[in-house]
Each structure stands twice: as C-alpha cells, then as structure tokens.
C-alpha cells in the first residue's frame, strides 16, 4: 500500500536529496487520489453512493507541511487523537474541519472543544455530560463502541450503548450522529468484517427502537488496511492516516 512513498523515500536517500516540497507534494496528492479511487470502488462493490462516504485524513505524527499539501489536494476533513496536536494544528488551519478520534480526558475538554467539529469518542455518560456542560454551541458526536479485547482500551461496552444513547437525548448541545469503532487489529481485513457488521447492526437497532430523537446515520469505521471492507459494511466516515501520509516516524 505504501509502495509509492517508500520508493520516493529510498530514491531520496540514494540521490542524497533534501526532502523537497515538490516530491512530497506529489506523493500526498497521489496517495489521496488513490485512496479516494479505492473508496469509490468499494462503494460501487456495495452498490452505495460514494458521495455518502467521507474521508477523515488522520494527520497524527505528521507536521503542518503535510496538512498543507493534503488541503491543496482538496482534503478538508482531518482527524487527530491527541488534544495537544489537534489544537496546535487546528490553530494553524482553522478553516479545515477537525475531528477528535482519541481518548478524551476530562481535564482537556476545555482546550479541545473550541477547535473541533466532531467528537468521535464519546464513551460514557460522565464524558458526554461534562462535554455538554462546557459547550456554548452544538457539537456533533459519535459514541465509540468497544469491540474485542485489548486493541482498544476505551469505548462503550456494546451492551451499554443503547442506554447511553437514551441518556444523550437529554443533552442540549451534543448532536449525536452515530457510532465509531476501532476493531482489534487483524492482518487480514476480511477478519474485521464481522466487527463492522456488528456495529452496523447496533446502529440499525438503535434506530429501530427510536432510542435517539433523530435517526443516527454515521458509522466511523475503517483505517488504512481495512477501509474497503468497512465501506462494504456501511462505513460513512473512514479514518485514514498511513495510506495518505506514509508511515509515521
């Protein structure tokens, strides 16, 4: 998946060239195009409208330069999993749309909130309530669901999700949109399919019960190695880092 970027890096090493803007720029733009093409192919395989699936470019571990290149290639939505790096980057690029995809500690809520469009990692009533209390305006939110062992330490137990959704109905500022999941890392993306399916089924169940005041439409699932399968299973937001920006150093 990283052939192009790796080849470019090796070339630069051998030619002993500085990391020139020109070369890197081509890579990010090329990788983005390739990812978008693969997203479109996956949507077509599932008979879905590609326009209903958004790409969240995960810029963690990369600097402003790479964000500028992605933005120049038309990417508007970015994700970060640390409060510090999100706020630094969002201050530099306030016109871009930022999603928080990491574990949020209560003492960082105030720092984070002014900079994000969507909080993808609500995993408890305590967090939802604490966030809502500090919000001056509406914020989109997703519930992070915990599936499978140690891969993710955070996330709401699937058995408690419906109760949490019902509680969030009481909050004025959080606009709940759907669910997010980080399944255990499995080499073969086909093995992740049951996890994606389980989350989609849970979303359908929430809507069938009318547990939230508006139907939930978003499923944030799929990363560099498995976004094709995630889209086949109904993802509406894919969070992709390495396939766009190259391996993190």
- Residues of this chain that bind ligand PLP (CB under 6 A): 58, 60, 81, 101, 182, 223-224, 239-243
CB of 69 to ligand PLP, least distance (A): 16
CB of 170 to ligand PLP, least distance (A): 27
Which segments of the chain are extended strands (E)? 54-58, 77-80, 97-100, 118-122, 139-145, 174-181, 218-220, 237-240
Q: Which is nearer to ligand PLP, 171 or 226 (CB)?
A: 226
Q: Which residue is nearest to ligand PLP (CB)?
A: 241
Q: Which is nearer to ligand PLP, 67 or 182 (CB)?
A: 182
What is the rounded CA–CA span in Å between residue 126 and residue 177? 18
Which alpha helices (H) appear in the chain, and where do they start and end?
3-15, 21-45, 64-72, 83-92, 109-112, 125-134, 161-168, 193-209, 227-232, 242-245
Q: Which is nearer to ligand PLP, 58 or 139 (CB)?
A: 58
Q: Tokens representing 179?
A: 């669910």
In eight-state DSSP terms, residue 184 is P
CB of 223 to ligand PLP, least distance (A): 4
CB of 239 to ligand PLP, least distance (A): 4
Residue 39 near residue 232, CB atoms below 8 Å: no
Q: Which class for 221: exposed (0-12), middle (13-18), buried (19 or more C-beta within 10 A)? A: buried
CB of 5 to ligand PLP, least distance (A): 12
Q: Which is nearer to ligand PLP, 190 or 205 (CB)?
A: 190
Q: Which is nearer to ligand PLP, 5 or 224 (CB)?
A: 224
């Amino acid at each position: 998946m990283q052939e192009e970027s790796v080849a470019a890096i090796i070339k630069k090493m051998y030619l002993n060239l500085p990391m020139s803007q020109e070369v890197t720029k081509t890579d990010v733009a090329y990788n983005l195009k390739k990812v978008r093409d693969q997203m479109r192919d996956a949507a077509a395989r599932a008979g879905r409208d590609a326009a209903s699936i958004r790409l969240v470019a995960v810029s963690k571990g990369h600097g402003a330069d790479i964000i500028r290149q992605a933005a120049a290639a038309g990417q508007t939505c970015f994700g970060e999993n640390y409060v510090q790096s999100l706020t630094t980057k969002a201050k530099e690029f306030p016109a871009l749309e930022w999603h928080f995809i990491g574990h949020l500690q209560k003492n960082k809520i105030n720092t984070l909130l002014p900079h994000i469009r969507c909080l993808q990692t609500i995993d408890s009533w305590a967090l939802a309530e604490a966030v809502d209390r500090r919000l001056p305006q509406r914020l989109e939110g997703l519930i992070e669901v915990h599936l499978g062992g140690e891969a993710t330490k955070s996330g709401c137990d699937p058995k408690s999700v419906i109760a949490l959704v019902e509680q969030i109905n009481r909050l004025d500022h959080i606009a709940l949109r759907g669910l997010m999941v980080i399944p255990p890392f499995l080499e073969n993306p086909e093995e992740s399919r049951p996890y994606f399916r389980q989350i989609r089924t849970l979303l359908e169940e929430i809507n069938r019960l009318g547990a939230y005041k508006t139907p939930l439409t978003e499923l944030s699932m799929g990363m560099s190695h498995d976004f094709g399968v995630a889209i086949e299973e109904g993802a509406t937001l894919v969070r992709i880092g390495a396939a766009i920006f190259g391996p993190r150093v």
